[in-house]
Structure 1
Amino acid sequence: MGGISGQWQCDGREKLKVMVLWRYNQLDPFRTALQKFEHIEVSGMSFHRAKGLEADYTILLDVSEGDYGVPSRIEDDELLNLVMPRPETFEFAEERRLFYVALTRASRGVFLLTNSREPSRYIRELSDIAGDNLRFESIDGDPLHQCPKCRVGQLVERNGRGNSRFLGCNQYPECEHTAQAH
């Protein structure tokens, strides 16, 4: 038995619990079927439904900017705004609380899946707080070289003038950080 789930099983514990979370119910990737694994118990639900629950690991889907991203840009119902005691003064306050709920469901680790061109503003904030405890990887698990300036972009090799090579942030033009290629 290899990997985390195999180690978990060798410790004599029950199945490793993994919770896959998303912002909106209509984005449910498990609508057709939930995968079954021998040593891993997988559950999937919206951020809202995860409140009060816990798993060993959580995977948060589409932590990117956009209408259905995190924070969501879809406006609240105007009727709901009429019954709220007072409007929030902090931008995306309710979205921030909801993201915090999803982020804190794991006892061992959290994986955030994002669009590398439009990562959520919350990833930048997490980078500032977590520093080196936050690791960026490709979908295959290969390490990505985090931009030291904006902390959400990755340094990628680019062509310069006269066929010279340099590293530039993939968040350009928002981040103009460059470094010499090795």
Structure 2
Amino acid sequence: MLIGYARVSTIDQSEKESLWIYGFKKICRIPDHVGLKLAAMHGYVRDGRLQPSKGGRVTVLVLGRYLNDQPEQMSSWKRRFGDCLDIEYRTVHASKGLEADYVFVLNLFEGSRGFPNQMDDNPVLQIAMPAPGPFPVAEERRLFYVALTRASRDVRIYPSLTKPSRFIAEIQHLGKLEVEAIDGEAIYPCPTCHQVEGTGRPSSRLH
């Protein structure tokens, strides 16, 4: 699967599906959906339908672009599901070098505190930074690649339906996956300008 001109190769292809995208009109509802997925996963482990990893538990990484993307329910999830699931939250930066069976990537939306991050860097700090890559938001694109390649079984991505991340637009434009709208209608943002053009099938028009 191509993501921003890079091939994701570490996701286990033996799974029927290795990448899922769940869209939300209100991103505050994302943790509730994650909780439901964790509860189902917990049940599957207890029933023997999902085999744990080394150490006797299924490992789960919940990833966000920022520290404050951590769901308030993390402590509750660990108490409720900790006998079968080893659940940890990390920023995408802090997840480098880590791996888990399942990965949940939260809050992909366009904006200054979104993913990709579009806040301007301090110009003094930019002096010490390497030159930007040939593609827009190149460093953020590399972080997205990191997020997608932390899982040995599958990845679940949670974008906004009202301000979807350009990364989601690019995935859709490649025709690889569609967003499953959970609390709204599916959207198809333009992969060039990243503006939402309405519901229905993806537009073939490029700007």
- Equivalent in 63, 67, 76 of residue 25 of structure 1: 67
Q: Provide the residue aligned with 1:71 in structure 2.
A: 116
User: What does the per-residue CA deviation read over 1:22-78, in whole Å, with 9 as the maximum and x for residues that have no partner?
Assistant: 101233224983522131111001000000101111111111111111111111222
Q: Where has structure 1 moved over 4 Å in runs of 4 or more?
A: 144-147, 173-178
Q: Provide the residue aligned with 1:105 in structure 2.
A: 150
Q: Provide the residue aligned with 2:171 in structure 1.
A: 126
2:126 is equivalent to residue 81 of structure 1: yes
Task: Indicate conservation of the 8 Å contact 2:187/2:198, yes or no.
Answer: no
Q: Provide the residue aligned with 1:42 in structure 2.
A: 87
Describe the shift of the 1:99–1:175 C-alpha distance in structure 2 as closer, same or farther (beyond 3 A). Answer: same
What is the percentage of aligned positions where both structures have the same residue?
36
Task: Indicate conservation of the 8 Å contact 1:30/1:44, yes or no.
Answer: no
* Greater relative contact order, per chain length (Cα 8 Å cut-off, separation 6+): 2
2:136 is equivalent to residue 61 of structure 1: no
| Greater alpha carbon shift after TM alignment, 122-131 vs 15-24 | 122-131
Describe the shift of the 1:55–1:127 C-alpha distance in structure 2 as closer, same or farther (beyond 3 A). Answer: same
Task: Indicate conservation of the 8 Å contact 2:61/2:88, yes or no.
Answer: yes
Q: Secondary structure at the match of 1:62?
A: strand
Count of equivalent residues: 154
Cα distance in 2, alignment partners of residues 65 and 100 from structure 1: 17
Partner AA of 2:179 in structure 1: F
Task: Indicate conservation of the 8 Å contact 1:5/1:39, yes or no.
Answer: yes
Q: Secondary structure at the match of 1:94?
A: helix
RMSD: 3.5
Cα distance in 2, alignment partners of residues 174 and 67 from structure 1: 25
- Larger radius of gyration, structure 1 or 2? 1
Deviation at 1:137, TM superposition (A): 2.7
Partner AA of 2:123 in structure 1: E
2:60 is equivalent to residue 15 of structure 1: no
5+ residue gaps in structure 2?
1-38
Taking structure 1 as the reference length, the TM-score comes to 0.68
Describe the shift of the 1:50–1:127 C-alpha distance in structure 2 as closer, same or farther (beyond 3 A). Answer: same
Partner AA of 2:67 in structure 1: N
Q: Secondary structure at the match of 2:62?
A: strand
Partner AA of 1:23 in structure 2: R
Cα distance in 1, alignment partners of residues 172 and 129 from structure 2: 32
